């Protein structure tokens, strides 16, 4: 199997011209995202795939998402690599559907692609009822389960916005995927090469189910120091990862481009545990297959 290279970034949190960024950033988010694309080109990383792991826009309209798609199409052509996106908690699903997909009434955006006899799954963990926590609907889990059983021996890699629970993230449970057990029960026994997430605005690597590696990429816009569970400090930052897959094994290298020393914002956190009210794993939702940008 040939080497397969993925540039993974998350949380660019782009804003329309008239909208202030979420945090008091010294550099506009679009300039930070462009610095990542420029760095990939300058250092001749030559990715086979680029994944933007959610929180694409803050308060984005359909027109904003349409402009984002046009911009990413230009960057994909420039870097000679397809760009895949997934949704994060800050994305507006209706605006994304209308502007980015030119569709409507899609309850979630999940899809699968195959490269070099490997399956890549892009899941939608945005939970409409909360601004932080993640959730995978029953129909999306059923779809994942069905597809994993179609090719049980094929190596699979999964991208989603919200990280899975781990002992080191106990104080961050309010921001994690809430139905970890349901997802892991589906993944158990399958040939999973890794899970790649964002959302936390800091990097982390750990194992779930004793065998599956999870890697959380730092944010493309800010670094959030969460050492104090109830008081987080925000810094300007630019960060992305390069995932190299060879013979089914993934290795990850971090590419930090900038980390500001000044604290530009603070975040107060009350309850740090899982959400108290979880939706039932029932419904009538269906999965959307998303095309590559080229």
User: Which of helix, strand or coil describes residue 252?
Assistant: strand
Provide the CB-side half-sphere exposure for 90 (13 A, CA). 19
In this model, does residue 286 exceed pLDDT 50? Answer: no
CA distance linking residue 276 with residue 278, whole number of Å: 6
At the topology level, CATH places domain 4-268 in Purple Acid Phosphatase; chain A, domain 2 (3.60.21)
Q: Which run of H or of E encompasses 251?
A: strand 249-259
- pLDDT for res 18: 54
Distances (CA, A) of 254 to 55, 81, 198, 201: 20, 19, 13, 13
Residue 2 pLDDT: 84
Express each pLDDT in 230-280 by its tens digit: 999 999 999 999 999 999 999 999 999 999 999 999 999 999 999 887 776
Q: CB within 8 A of 247, min separation 6: which ones?
A: 1
Pick the residue with more confidence: 3 or 280? Answer: 3
- pTM recorded for the entire structure: 0.92
Give pLDDT, residue 105.
76
| Mean predicted lDDT score pLDDT of the chain | 91
Res 283: pLDDT: 47
**Which pLDDT tens digit goes with each residue over 53-81?**
999 999 899 999 999 999 999 999 999 99
Where is average pLDDT lowest: 13-17, 89-93, 192-196, 197-201? 13-17
pLDDT of residue 19: 59
C-alpha 85/C-alpha 249 separation (Å) is: 23
CA-based radius of gyration for the chain: 18
pLDDT tens-digit map of 132-186: 999 999 999 999 999 999 988 899 999 999 999 999 999 999 999 999 999 999 9
């Amino acid at each position: 199997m040939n080497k397969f290279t993925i540039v993974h970034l998350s949380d660019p949190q782009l804003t329309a011209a008239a909208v202030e960024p979420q945090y008091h950033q010294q550099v506009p988010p679009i300039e930070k995202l462009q610095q990542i694309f420029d760095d990939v080109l300058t250092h001749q990383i030559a990715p086979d795939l680029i994944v933007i792991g959610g929180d694409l826009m803050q308060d984005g309209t359909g027109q904003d998402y349409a402009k984002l798609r046009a911009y990413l199409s230009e960057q994909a052509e420039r870097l000679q690599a397809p760009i895949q996106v997934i949704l994060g908690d800050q994305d507006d699903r209706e605006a994304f559907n209308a502007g980015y997909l030119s569709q409507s009434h899609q309850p979630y955006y999940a899809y699968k692609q195959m490269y070099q006899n490997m399956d890549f799954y892009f899941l939608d963990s945005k939970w409409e009822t909360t601004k932080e926590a993640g959730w995978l609907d029953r129909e999306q889990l059923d779809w994942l389960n069905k597809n994993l059983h179609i090719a049980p021996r094929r190596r699979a890699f999964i991208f989603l916005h919200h990280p899975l629970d781990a002992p080191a993230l106990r104080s961050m449970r309010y921001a994690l995927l809430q139905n970890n057990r349901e997802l892991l029960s589906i993944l158990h026994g399958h040939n999973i090469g890794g899970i790649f997430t964002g959302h936390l605005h800091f990097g982390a690597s750990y194992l779930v189910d004793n065998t599956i590696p999870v890697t959380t990429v730092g944010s493309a816009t800010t670094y959030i120091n969460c050492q104090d569970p109830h008081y987080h400090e925000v810094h300007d930052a630019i960060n992305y990862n390069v995932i190299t897959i060879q013979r089914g094994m993934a290795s990850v290298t971090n590419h930090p481009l900038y980390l500001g020393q000044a604290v530009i914002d603070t975040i107060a956190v009350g309850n740090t545990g899982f959400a108290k009210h979880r939706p039932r794993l029932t419904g009538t939702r269906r999965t959307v297959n998303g095309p590559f940008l080229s």
